[in-house]
Structure 1
Amino acid sequence: MFALVAALLFVLALVFEIAGLAVGGVLTVTTLAVAGLVCVAVHLMGVGAGWSVLKK
């Protein structure tokens, strides 16, 4: 799930970069790229993977 969110954030960052957009001082290409990298890191940690090592 986090990988999908990261991909969407990277697409938004690319569109913002191509169009030269910035929403205020908060939502810029850099913040979208950093948020995407955080989502990739969380995905690689295994958060939200949907499976557990523990046996029930």
Structure 2
Amino acid sequence: MLAIVSAVLFFIAFLINAADISTNDTFRSTNVMLLGLAVLALHLAGIGSGWSRGGRRR
């Protein structure tokens, strides 16, 4: 799920950069891209991958 959020953030950053849309300093393409990288890092770390079962399976 976090990988999809990351891809959407990267796409928004690309659109802001490609269309040369002037936004305020909070939503610049670099900041949106860094948010996408942070979400991607959380995905790769295993956060948000779903519920894990309690206990060990044998």
Q: TM-score, normalised by structure 2?
A: 0.84
Q: TM-score, normalised by structure 1?
A: 0.87
Total equivalences in the alignment: 56
- Higher-Rg member (1/2): 2
Deviation string 1:6-55 (CA, Å, 9 cap, x unpaired) is 00000001101111013211100100110000000000010111142633
Q: 2:16 is matched by which residue type in structure 1?
A: F
For 1:1-56, what aligned pairs fall within 5 Å after superposition?
1-52=1-52, 54-55=54-55
- Between the aligned residues of both structures, percent identity stands at 34
Q: 2:22 is matched by which residue type in structure 1?
A: A
Q: Indicate if the aligned counterparts of 1:22 and 1:29 stay in contact, CA closer than 8 A.
A: no
Q: What stretches of structure 2 of length at least 5 have no aligned partner?
A: none
Aligned CA-pair RMSD:
1.6
Q: What stretches of structure 1 of length at least 5 have no aligned partner?
A: none
